[in-house]
Amino acid sequence: MRTLRFRDPRAVVARGAGKAGVKFAFYSGGITAANDILPAVKKSIDAGLSPDAALRALTLSTAEIFGVADVLGSIEKGQDRKTWW
């Protein structure tokens, strides 16, 4: 029980979603410093999420969920490289 108490359940959920093929995205949640985002994503990778799924959750999946994948979320010709908000 002690080990389970210290595991981050969000990391395990991301792993499960990735393995099930469920589209999901990471969000900042309680993170207040930009430097804390990648270590938080690494927790999900350490819990078994593939690095490819983690990258997609940070980029294209997020854009798809918000309905802006035609202009954001990937590096393709025609994608908007300016800040759009």
35-47: pLDDT as tens digits: 888 888 888 888 8
Binned at pLDDT 50, 70 and 90, residue 82 comes out as low
Closest CA to 10 of 32, 34, 42, 35: 42
- Residue 43: both structure tokens together: 């927790």
Closest CA to 42 of 21, 5, 31: 31
53 CB-contact burial (10 Å; exposed 0-12 / middle 13-18 / buried 19+): buried
Residue 73 in contact with residue 63, Cβ under 8 Å?
A: yes
| Higher-scoring residue by pLDDT: 59, 9 | 59
Q: What pLDDT is recorded for position 36?
A: 87
For the chain, state the CA radius of gyration. Answer: 14
**Average of per-residue pLDDT across 5-22:** 64
Q: Which residue type occupies 81?
A: R
pLDDT tens figures, 21-74: 778 888 877 788 888 888 888 888 888 888 998 888 888 888 898 898 888 787
pTM of the model: 0.67
